[in-house]
Amino acid sequence: MNARSLLLNAYVYAVLIFILLPIIIILPMSVSESNYLAFPPEGFTLRWFEDYFGDRRWMEATWFSIRIATLTAIATAVIGTMATYALVRGAGRMGTLFQTLLIGPIVVPHIALAVALYLFFQNTGLSGTTLGYVMAHSLIAMPFTVFTVAAALSSIDPALEDAAMSCGASRFTAFRLITLPMILPNVVSGGLFAFIISFDEPVIAFFLAGIRDKTLPRMMFDDIEQNLTPVIPAIAVLLTLLSIAVLIGAGMLKRMADRRGAGG
Amino acid sequence: MSIAGFERPTLGKIIIDGVDCTTLPPNKRNIGMVFQHYTLFPHLSVADNVAFPLKMRGISRSERRRQAEAALETVRLAGYGDRMPKQLSGGQQQRVALARAIVYRPRVLLMDEPLSALDKNLREEMQLEIKRLHSELGLTVVFVTHDQGEALTMADRIAILKAGKLQQVSPARELYERPSNLFAAGFIGEMNMLPVEWDGQRARLVQGEEIVLPDQAAITPVTPGPAVLAVRPERLSYARAGTAGTWAATVRDVVYAGAGTLLITSLGDGTEVRLRIPSAGQEPVSPGDAIGLTCPPEAMLLYPQEGA
C-alpha cells in the first residue's frame, strides 16, 4: 500500500465518521440519567426506553405510523410496479412526461408538496385520515420504488413474455408467472424503502395531522417543543435500528435476486 | 412475428391449417415458437420451462412431468430436467427452447433465426438436429434465417422476403438455378450480372459479342431493349483469348482456395465477372492475361433491367 492509497483510505474513514458521528452520539444520550438532553451522558439507565414503551400516547402514535407505513409500502409496491412496467415496456411518447410526473416529488421540496396537499385535503375531507396519509406518503415514496423496480425490469428480456405468450399464456399470466417472480425481490425492497420513508416522514405529517391521530415523527416534534426529554434520542435509536434492519433486509433480497439471476 | 401474432399485418391474411388467424392473439394460435436468444425462463428449472405450455393448457402435474421429460428426450437432453437454464451451454439452452416449443405438439413450429447466436460448429449440429426433428415429428417448420447456406440446406421450400413482400417461394434447387427475379438471383449465392441489349433472340454484350439464348433463359417475358444476363460463377469456364464463341475478358485477380479457385475478370466495359473453377487441370492464368469466357447456354438467365 503506497502513501497515496493510505491517504485516500484515511480520507474515506474521516468522511464516514463525520456522517456517522451524530448517529453514534444519540446512543449514549438515550441512556443518560439526566432529565434533559446531555452529552457526555451522566450514568446509565434504560428509563427512557421504558417511558417510550409504557406511554399510551407514544404507542398509539407508533402503531398509527406502522399502519400508515405498511399501507404506503403496499400501495407503492403495487402502483409503482404497474407504473414502472408501463414506463419500461412502452409508454410511448407520453413516457417522458409520465416519468417526470412520477419522480417529480424528489425535486419538489416536501414543504411545497405539504402545503399543496394541505389545501387539497382540507377541501376534500382527507386531512388527518389514513387514506390521506397513505396517498401523501405514497407520492413521496413512489420515485424510490420506481427506481428499484425499473432497475430489475430493464434487465429482463421482453421476449421472455412473448415466449410465454407463444406457449399459451395470456399477457397477464405471462407477467404474473414470468416477469413478476423475477422482479419480486426488487418490488419487495422498493416496498421496504417506502415503509421507511413513510415511517419517519415529518414534514407532510406536520401539515396533515389531525388532533387525535398523529404519526410518530409528529409526536416527537410535539415532545421536542414541550419537554425535550431523552425519550427523543431513545426513539431515534430505535428508528435507526429499524432503518438498518430494513437496509439489511433489502440487501439480502438483492443478494437473493443476484444469485437467482446467476442460476445458483 | 406476424405469423406468431405479435404484430398485426397491414394487409393480407394468415391462414394456418384452414383457420384464419389474422386477428388471433399469440396465446390462442397454438404455434410453437423458438426465439433468437433462447428466451428460457431463468427462474424455472429446465423441466418447468418445458412443461410451461402444458401448464397453460391445464394439464395435470404428473402428466406435465412425463411429457416434458419425453420432449427433453426428443432433443437429447434426457435427465437435464432439474438443472437451471443458466447451467446449460448455449446449444443446450436452444435445445430446451426447442423442447418447450414442441412439447404440446403444435401445428406449426416457428423459428426466428434460432441458430444465429450459436457458433459455427454448434450451428451445423443444430441444423441436422432440427432436420431430424422435422422428419420425426412431421410438423411444419417455418424457419427464418439470414444465412443463405442454412436456407438451402435446411428447407424444402424457400421464401425470399424483401421489405415485407414475397419475392419467390420455391424449392431450394429451383430457387438457386432459376430465381424468379434479379433480387432473388442476387440474394442466394453469387451471381454475375452483365448488362446486355436484347433484341428478342440474341443478347449483345456492351463490348460487342452476340449470344444466342435458348427460350427458357427468360423466366418472365423480357421486352427487347436493355436487359440483364445472369450467370452463376461456377457455370463459367475460360479458354484462350479469341476462341470462337467466347467473350473477351481480362484476368484481374486469381484467388487460390485449395479445391477451387476464384477468378476475377473484367469485360471490356469494366463489368466484373467472377468464375469459380476447380483448381486442378486448368491452364494457369495470371492477372493481366487476356482470356475468353464461355458458358453453356442453359446456364444463362435473362432478366428485364431493374426498374424498367
Structure confidence by residue, pLDDT tens digits, B155-176: 888 888 888 788 888 888 888 8
Please report residues of B whose CB lies closer than 8 A to that of A185.
Answer: none
- Cβ B96 vs Cβ B86: under 8 Å: no
Of A159, A167, A264, the CB nearest to B56: A167
Q: What is the per-residue DSSP string for B43-67?
A: TS-HHHHHHHHHHHTT--HHHHHHH
Contact of B274 with chain A, judged by CB distance below 8 Å, is answered with: no
Task: Using the CB atoms, write b or e for B193-216: b if 16+ within 10 Å.
Answer: bbebebeeeebebeeebebebeee
- CATH assignment, A62-262: 1.10.3720.10
Residue B257, strand partner residues: B260
Mutate one of B7, B24, B46, B52 to test the A interface: name it (highest A CB count within 10 A): B52
Q: What pLDDT is stored for residue A261 in this prediction?
A: 55
DSSP 8-state symbol, A179 = I
The dihedrals phi and psi of A151, each to the nearest 5 degrees, come to: -60, -40
Residue A176 has pLDDT above 60, yes or no: yes
> Cβ atoms within 10 A of the Cβ of A243, count?
14
- Cβ A81 vs Cβ A183: under 8 Å: yes
Contact of B39 with chain A, judged by CB distance below 8 Å, is answered with: yes
Question: What 3-state DSSP class applies to B157?
Answer: strand
Q: What pLDDT is stored for residue A262 in this prediction?
A: 47
- ipTM surpasses 0.90: no
For chain A, what are the domain ranges? 62-262
How far apart are alpha carbons B266 and B287 in whole angstroms? Answer: 11
pLDDT in tens, A56-86: 889 999 999 999 999 999 999 999 999 999 8
Angle between helices A47-54 and A56-88 (to 10 degrees): 80
Contact of A24 with chain B, judged by CB distance below 8 Å, is answered with: no
Contact flag A166-B33 (C-beta cutoff 8 Å): yes
pLDDT in tens, B200-238: 888 888 888 888 888 888 888 888 889 999 999 999 988
| CA B233 to chain centroid | 18
* Cell 435500528 found at: A241
Q: Which three cell numbers stand for residue A148?
A: 428499484
Of B52, B86, B101, the CB nearest to A262: B86
- Cβ A65 vs Cβ A215: under 8 Å: yes
Chain A, chain B: beta-carbon pairs less than 8 Å apart: 72
Please report residues of A whose CB lies closer than 8 A to that of B27.
Answer: 165-171
Of B53, B86, B110, the CB nearest to A168: B53
Please report residues of B whose CB lies closer than 8 A to that of A169.
Answer: 27, 52, 56
HSE, side-chain direction, 13 A CA sphere, residue A187:
18
* Helix locations, chain A, DSSP H: 3-30, 47-54, 56-88, 95-103, 110-124, 130-153, 159-166, 171-174, 180-199, 203-208, 216-226, 231-262
Residue B159 C-alpha, separation from nearest chain A C-alpha, in angstroms:
23
- The residues, ordered by sequence, that sit 6+ positions from B87 with a Cβ below 8 Å of its Cβ are A263
Domains and CATH numbers, chain B: 15-155 (3.40.50.300), 192-304 (2.40.50.140)
Report the residue count for chain A.
264
Contact of B30 with chain A, judged by CB distance below 8 Å, is answered with: yes
Contact of B56 with chain A, judged by CB distance below 8 Å, is answered with: yes
Per residue of chain B (308 residues), give pLDDT as tens: 677 777 778 888 888 877 888 878 888 888 888 988 888 999 999 999 999 999 999 999 999 999 999 999 888 888 899 999 999 988 889 899 999 998 988 888 888 888 887 788 888 888 888 888 888 888 888 888 888 888 888 888 888 888 878 888 888 888 888 888 888 888 888 899 999 988 888 888 888 888 888 888 888 888 888 999 999 999 998 888 888 888 899 999 999 888 889 999 998 888 899 999 898 877 788 898 899 998 888 889 999 887 54
